[in-house]
Amino acid sequence: MNRITAPARPKLRPIEVRPHAHNGQTYFMLRDPLELRDGSLLLPQPFAAALSLFDGTRTVEEIAAVFALRFGVPLEPALVEQLVEAVDEACLLENERSFAAHKQKTESYRQEPFRPARLAGLGYPQDPAQLFGLIESYLAPFPPVSATANSTPAVTAGWFGLLSPHIDYPRGGPVYAQVWQQAAVEIRSADLVILLGTDHNGDDPFTLTRQNYATPYGVLPTAQGAVDAVVDVIGEEAAFAGELRHINEHSLELVAVWLHHMRRGEPVEMVPILVGSLYRHIWGGSSPEEDRQIDDVLAALSAAGHGRRVAVVASGDMSHVGAAFGGDPLDDEARARVRQDDENLIAAMRRGSASDFFDLIRSARDRNNVCGVTPIYLMLRLLGDDVRGELHGYASCPADAEDASAVTVCGMVFR
């Protein structure tokens, strides 16, 4: 058997690096979002600093020399070599080993009968009866909307939109409940759901899967024809290069559970799409309305939904602010500013204006780290200029133990 050797110029894959305390010492935990290997890797603090030099341009000897120059601490090339081997064994480098592991995991994922509900038993109950009870407890304070209510139009054909949080249920439950209760009639009448979710671990514009999505209530089938339509315009490689990110991404799963619950376990065809950021337009000065790929994908989805009852669900939270997100601890003044910024975005969504919404994000350089930018923008584009939004729920959720950070969420329906 041929032994895979560590690369001469190591390059780190996209991974998560977090501080970790162990036995009174500070370490850094390296975690692979794709989990090509089980577990995570703990590194002493000095070794973790050396990882910043793993960019594919330097040899082991050059990494040791630059480290010593940059940090004023000598580092033997032999220690760098040990670090490279440890990181390589964990499949955290871009090389033959990780490529082979990625291919094997992708093949295994595609052979599964469905994409498992990864957070079942962790973020919400795995038992369907317990899950039903939990979600009904969130819904109880908010009366159901009658199908004959004056505020609810008949749903025979056409398009409908919903903005849902994807924060955890304990913090976001009341907002989930308000917006999904308000949308219940349309959700139960839909025969196709286009689900757009923030890709927290990748930045490909569109990442698809042909796998069905499972929830504790059963399986939501993926609309293969709609997936094929998008693949036809962006290509197989672009569509599925990051497919493994579907496995652990919560933005689609947490919303799919509410979708399935509101349909009382009845399946509906779904198009699950992970979407990357619009930073290339936010910082580049261009407009996403001039982005040919976005135009082509939206046209393909529109054609796939022609003549059907389509629900477009944007899974996205609002602002991520404070110390936990690299900013200053929040005070009353900062909280008021964030609330005003959110209200401005909500006003643009009420008008159904994708361009106004994006212009607000770009003018502020997304200073509040709104993680739902792309799903919301794409949903508004899909629904068209005549749509209007209604707010149903808003909350500012604590994001650390000191209450120095917050994640804001809201729910909206678009008719």
For residue 11, being part of any structural domain is answered with: no
For residue 112, being part of any structural domain is answered with: no
Q: What is the mean pLDDT of residues 148-172?
A: 76
Give the total number of structural domains in the chain. 2
Q: What was the pLDDT predicted at 157?
A: 59
**Based on the domain organization, do 48 and 183 belong to the same domain?**
no
Q: What is the mean pLDDT of residues 320-334?
A: 96
Q: What was the pLDDT predicted at 199?
A: 98
Range of the domain at 246: 118-414
Distance CA 55, CA 94 (A): 10
Express as a percent the part of the chain with pLDDT over 90.
Answer: 87
For residue 298, being part of any structural domain is answered with: yes
Residue 49 — pLDDT band, cuts 50, 70, 90?
confident
For residue 29, being part of any structural domain is answered with: yes
Q: What was the pLDDT predicted at 354?
A: 98
| DSSP codes, 100-132 | HHHHHHHHHHHHSSSB--TTBTTTB-SSHHHHH
Segment 55-67, tens digit of pLDDT: 999 999 999 999 9
For residue 9, being part of any structural domain is answered with: no
Strands 389-398 and 405-414: antiparallel
Residue 252 has pLDDT above 50, yes or no: yes
The answer to whether residues 278 and 358 touch, using CB atoms and an 8 Å cutoff, is yes
**Based on the domain organization, do 278 and 352 belong to the same domain?**
yes
Q: What is the mean pLDDT of residues 168-175?
A: 98
Distance CA 244, CA 263 (A): 27
Residue 18 — pLDDT band, cuts 50, 70, 90?
confident
Residue 316 has pLDDT above 50, yes or no: yes
**Based on the domain organization, do 198 and 239 belong to the same domain?**
yes
The answer to whether residues 376 and 369 touch, using CB atoms and an 8 Å cutoff, is no
- The residue out of 104, 139, 170 marking a domain boundary is 104
- Which candidate, 163, 190, 219, places its Cα nearest to that of 348? 163
Share the mean pLDDT of the chain: 94
Residue 151 has pLDDT above 50, yes or no: no
For residue 221, the domain's CATH number is 3.40.830.10
Residue 153 — pLDDT band, cuts 50, 70, 90?
very low
For residue 6, being part of any structural domain is answered with: no
Segment 392-410, tens digit of pLDDT: 999 999 999 999 999 999 9
- The residue out of 69, 104, 139 marking a domain boundary is 104
Q: What was the pLDDT predicted at 4?
A: 55
**Based on the domain organization, do 185 and 220 belong to the same domain?**
yes
Token pair for residue 198?
A: 């923030």
**Based on the domain organization, do 130 and 92 belong to the same domain?**
no
**Based on the domain organization, do 272 and 226 belong to the same domain?**
yes
pTM, two decimal places: 0.93
**Based on the domain organization, do 42 and 178 belong to the same domain?**
no
For residue 396, being part of any structural domain is answered with: yes
**Based on the domain organization, do 380 and 255 belong to the same domain?**
yes
**Based on the domain organization, do 157 and 275 belong to the same domain?**
yes
**Based on the domain organization, do 33 and 152 belong to the same domain?**
no
